[in-house]
Structure 1
Amino acid sequence: MPMAADEIAEMIRAAIPDATVEITDLAGDGDHYAARVVSPSFAGMPRVKQHQQVYAALGGRMGGVLHALQLTTAAS
């Protein structure tokens, strides 16, 4: 069962409360999304660590329930 865009955003915001999250359904199928996550807590953090934090927020759903996520992160 695909994930809804708002469910993805809620999971990210729950784990990174100060984040601004924008989710775009890339294919209209509920399986391929783009996410832009901006959080002051990312300041000074390498990009790979920022992405790991977002993936951790999704609780292991990547590759299963959520097939693809094009991820962009920024500190501000």
Structure 2
Amino acid sequence: MSREPLIDGHGRSIGDLRVSVTDRCNFRCQYCMPAEGLPWLERDDVLRFEEIERIVRVLVEMGVTDVRLTGGEPLVRRD
């Protein structure tokens, strides 16, 4: 099923999607997250793999061609 394309406020097609799959990271780089003061999200507040997959599928149908998985550190997730 084809969906209407995503258009930003300036009339441009949106082709990029960045999904932050977790806020957890084993590095805690200063530019990304301070060493203290920001608590981790509860596991229930983080999107499940199936939810991420569904979002990506829908947005690909809407013209997204570039998907980036980011974090935290995406590889700390088991799924």
Give the TM bin, normalised by the shorter chain.
Answer: 0.3 to 0.5
**Greater share of residues in helix:** 1
TM-score, normalisation: structure 1:
0.34
* Higher Cα radius of gyration: 2
TM-score, normalisation: structure 2:
0.33
**Greater share of residues in strand:** 1
